[in-house]
Amino acid sequence: MVGDEGDVAEVGLDGKLIATRVLGGDLEGVTCDPASGLVYVVREGHEILFELDPDTLKPRRRFLIDRSFGGDPNFLRRGGDGIEGLTFVPSKSDPEGGRFYAVNQYDPPVLVELRVPLRSSQDPIAAAEITGAWPLGPAPLSGVTWDPPTGVFLVPSALWHSALVVSRSGTKLGSVRIPGFMQEGITRVPGGSFVIAQDSGGLVKWTPPRDPFAEALRSRGSVGQDRSGNGHEGKPD
């Protein structure tokens, strides 16, 4: 997990703190590449993606997110209401091993796909580019998690106390109320539970009687798209 004061923490499934490190800045999202085990965190404001060693949490590389997209050099506006979440979707067909996805809180509230040169560059500092963007709302968007069992993104909102269910192609499929206060992150853990990170501090372990996100898909008559993460380039249907 990460914090607004630049701290990164490893937490066990029992909720106990294992390790911490301070990187500085306003860190707003954390994910990993399951193929390499490397950890990635994003700093809001400057929009920098850090690659961390999972054993020490020390930075290895940095990727500067290019704010431009679709001919707009400032598609992602500068300021304190920028990138709020980060997740990785692995893909065997992608030369970089997969794509990162992030949500922008405001200005504009969107889900963005990022091409990051994980394999093609070994430079200590490299650029990440936006390769897809899909408007989502209502704002603010507070986080994003790729959920392999359902094949969808879960996008929590700290204001609305809910998580959007979003397809790989950026289509909003539903919304699920989630427990906690100022919810800024959610992830699935073994045993049918979810862990929710609160901006106000602390983690909430939630064990619903049934999978609410799978239920949301069934009620819509939808299925998650491409659960493996293969074969999509993040473009709208």
Residues 109 and 150 in one domain: no
pTM, whole model, 2 decimals?
A: 0.89
Contact 90, 98 (CB under 8 A): yes
Residues 115 and 211 in one domain: no
Residues 105 and 161 in one domain: no
Residues 73 and 178 in one domain: no
What pLDDT sits at residue 220? 79
Residue 191's Cβ-count burial label (10 Å; 0-12, 13-18, 19+) is exposed
Look at the chain and report how many structural domains it folds into: 2
Residues 95 and 209 in one domain: no
d(C-alpha 168, C-alpha 145), whole Å: 11
| Token pair for 77 | 């506006």
Residue 207's Cβ-count burial label (10 Å; 0-12, 13-18, 19+) is exposed
Of the segments 11-20, 81-90, 128-137, 193-202, which one has the largest average pLDDT value?
A: 128-137
- The answer, yes or no, to whether residue 202 has pLDDT greater than 50, is yes
What pLDDT sits at residue 63? 98
pLDDT tens figures, 11-44: 988 889 899 999 888 888 999 999 999 999 999 8
CA angle 199, 142, 101 (to 5 degrees): 130
pLDDT tens figures, 141-163: 989 999 999 999 999 988 889 99
- The answer, yes or no, to whether residue 229 has pLDDT greater than 90, is no
Look at residue 153 and tell me if it is in a domain: yes
